[in-house]
Chains A and B, each alone.
Chain A
Amino acid sequence: MIFRAVEDADLIRQARAPSARGAIDAFNLLVSRWEKRVYNYLLRITGNREDALDLTQDVFLKAYQNLRKLDDPARFAPWLYRIAHNEAYSLFRKRRPEVDVAELEPESTDDGITVGGSSVFPLELSLAVAGALERLSPEQREAVVLKIYQGFKFEEMAEILECPVSTVKSRLYAALELLKAQLAPIKRGVS
């Protein structure tokens, strides 16, 4: 007998199986692997924990209902994030239909800090980072989140955002320039 780690593709195949019980178990395992990452992605682009949690649930429900439409199980992550991206932008449009999506800014959370916080790093740095991310355009911010925090490749980002790789790169490079200008001096000063 040979043991190997269960991959996402295995779980997707099981989740697509006709046996409903086994399918849900497999899908729940898939959810447990991805829920934290998807939640944090949505948290960073919406800036609101409640919205992020609601959207995460919607994303996984849609993923379950449409799992059979996923052609290549190896492309599960970009496919899942594509759903998440669409859900988030759908919410933005619903909230403010008259405003162009590119002009949307994340909402502040109740405690005044846009996203997160850390006990390990100094609070000033966290605030500075949150502020710097907020100053980016929504598209630049999403590119940074997908690349820096979620570790996607350019091609995967292009798939998620439904745009050419060149567009992904230009958004990301512009965002990096802005972040570098704001954060590099602070980090040096803090450390």
Chain B
Amino acid sequence: MSCSPFDLRDYFLKELSDPERRQVELHVRSCPPCREELDRLQVTETALFALREEEIPQRIAFVSDKIFEPSPWRRALAGFWNSSARLAFASAAMLSIAVVVYSFSRPAPAPVVATTTPAPAAVSPATVQQQIEAAVTQAVAQSEARQARKLDEQISQMKQLVAWAETDREISLRRQANLQRATYFSAQAENGERK
């Protein structure tokens, strides 16, 4: 395990910032194990570079060929879709157009018909009081007439009921008298036969 302030491998792989590199270099000067470790890494790197880059056997170059070339329309479309700013602008523009078209194409609002209600004239409190009193008097009169009509109806109904009751009583009395008379005559007849 290295005692270096930063990972020696990161130093070796050039992944440290300048101040970090300086700290590692300072440490390595006074730390033989870390110096040896760094030395081994550098020797390994040198060995790896024994394999040198090869030249490409055949240079690559493209010529204008319609088969592989995207059409101008496709290029423009691809460019458009790949740009979020342009896409956002297009969306906003389409929304604006939709709003404008809708505002022109929607049905016109129904015409407002002028009402003939006259404007209320200025009324004095005395007139209002008179109107109220007249309305109350009229309402009271109507109510009294309604009550009198109801009372007359009820009285006539009562009279009718009484008349029906008297008729019933008279009929009942007549029946009783007839019954008693019949009983008497039948008793007389029985006594005469016995004799």
Interface residues of A (CB under 8 A from B): 16, 18, 20-21, 24, 27-28, 31-32, 35-37, 39-40, 43-44, 49, 53, 56-57, 60-61, 64-65, 68-69, 71, 115-116, 118, 120-122, 125-126, 128-130, 133, 144, 147-149, 153-154, 172-173, 176, 179-180, 183-184, 186-188
Closest chain-A Cβ to B195's Cβ sits at a distance in Å of: 146
Q: Flag the segment in B62-70, B125-133, B148-156, B163-171 that touches A.
A: B62-70
Q: Does B43 contact A (CB under 8 A)?
A: yes
Question: Shortest Cβ distance from A28 into chain B, in angstroms?
Answer: 5
Q: Separation in Å of the B13 CB from the closest CB of chain A?
A: 6
B47 and A187 contact, CB distance less than 8 A: yes
A18-B76, A116-B54, A187-B43 are contacts. A179–B61 as well, Cβ < 8 Å? no
How far, in Å, is A127 (CB) from chain B's closest CB?
9
Interface residues of B (CB under 8 A from A): 9, 13, 15, 40-41, 43-64, 68-70, 72, 75-76, 78-79, 82
Dominant SS among interface residues on chain B: loop
Closest to B69 in A: A20
Where chain A touches its partner, the secondary structure class is helix
Q: Would you list 27 pairs from A and B whose C-beta atoms are within 8 A, ordered by A residue?
A: A18-B76, A32-B59, A32-B61, A35-B56, A35-B59, A36-B55, A37-B53, A39-B54, A39-B56, A49-B54, A56-B60, A60-B60, A68-B78, A69-B78, A118-B50, A118-B52, A122-B50, A126-B50, A126-B51, A129-B47, A148-B49, A176-B9, A176-B41, A179-B47, A179-B48, A186-B47, A187-B46
